[in-house]
Amino acid sequence: MKATKFSQYLQHREELQFVDRPHWIYVVEAGIWATLIILGGFWVHNWLGTNFITPGLRAETAGLQSMTLKLTAYAALFAKWGALLYAVIYFINRVIFYLSTFVFASDRRLYYKTGMVRVQVFEIAFEEIRKTDINYGWFGRFLGYGKLMLDARFVEDEDLPYLHKPETFGKLIHYNNDLSQDINLSMVTNELRKGNARKEKIVTTAEVHDEIDPMHDQMDAVHYKYPTERDCEERHEKKHKEEMEETLHRDFDEATEKETDDDDPHYRKPVNTSSSFLKS
């Protein structure tokens, strides 16, 4: 397997199948929210200045009223510069999330890595996932993104971020689960068929590509081939016929070896022990 920056998170003998990252809609959404926060802070600043600070400065106030005026002025400044600072921090945080988050899948597990300094990695085996749902939101179909929601059995359910190709991860999960279930079914069937009337072993064969290309849906190109009941009966009958012929040949050879009456003028030793009537 070619070493990548995701190899350190994979388990032993796992092959990397597909990698995706959050959609750029996160950056656009962060920019929109940051702009709205800044505009809201400036609006609160101007509203306090117009309705409280300016009239208070014009009137002759003293004592408690002057202290209220000072607090209002501080609140207006906090709304303005606090909103600006919060918007910048929020925007940088979402950009870091966009740059440091990846969702990738191996041939056995699904991984969700996020964080640049404080890295967190979430992993779940395909066999533990019972159901997958995709939420496209309001504009997902038009802008090309969707959120994959995982329904797991023994671990907490997880909602992945908005990705470019959530369908690919869903296909990989169900493809590997279906293949493993078919293999387990063949093994169980083989164990049940052992006994006196033992039949042919059911073997699952799958023709798949070495590397799955999600853009061409190669994971759907799987062909299963099972021997039919008629094929098993024909093979069993053929094997039984061969065993019967071998038994007849062995009995005939033993009978001819035990014949000791060579002085009998009517006795004639056969030339070829494999007579033609045995083959019929």
Mean pLDDT over all residues of the chain? 75
| pLDDT score, position 218 | 43
Name the DSSP class of 49. I
- For 41, residues 6+ apart whose C-beta sits below 8 A from its C-beta are 79, 80, 81, 82, 83, 84, 87
| pLDDT score, position 156 | 74
Per-range mean pLDDT, top range of 3-7, 98-102, 104-108, 174-178 = 98-102
| pLDDT score, position 199 | 42
Q: Which residue's structure tokens are 């012929």?
A: 245
| pLDDT score, position 7 | 79
Beta bridge pairs of residue 202: none
Reduced to 3 DSSP states, what percent helix, strand and coil does the chain have, rounded to the nearest 5?
A: 55, 15, 30
Q: Please give the residue that has the higher pLDDT: either 223 or 31.
A: 31
Per-range mean pLDDT, top range of 79-83, 189-193, 207-211 = 79-83
Q: Please give the residue that has the higher pLDDT: either 23 or 130.
A: 23
Instruction: Give yes or no for residue 104 having a pLDDT over 80.
Output: yes
Q: How far apart are CA 153 and CA 229, in angstroms?
A: 36
Angle (CA) 256-259-262 rounded to 5° is: 120
- For 45, residues 6+ apart whose C-beta sits below 8 A from its C-beta are 76, 77, 79, 80
| pLDDT score, position 258 | 59
In percent, the amount of the chain with pLDDT more than 90 equals 25
User: Could you read off the pLDDT of 223-265 as tens digits, one per residue?
Assistant: 444 455 566 677 778 887 888 888 877 777 776 665 545 545 5
Closest CA to 235 of 200, 208, 275, 270: 200
User: Could you read off the pLDDT of 170-184 as tens digits, one per residue?
Assistant: 888 888 877 666 555
Phi-psi region of 39 (alpha: psi -120 to 50; beta: other; left: phi over 0): alpha
Q: How far apart are CA 148 and CA 169, in angstroms?
A: 8
Model pTM score: 0.58
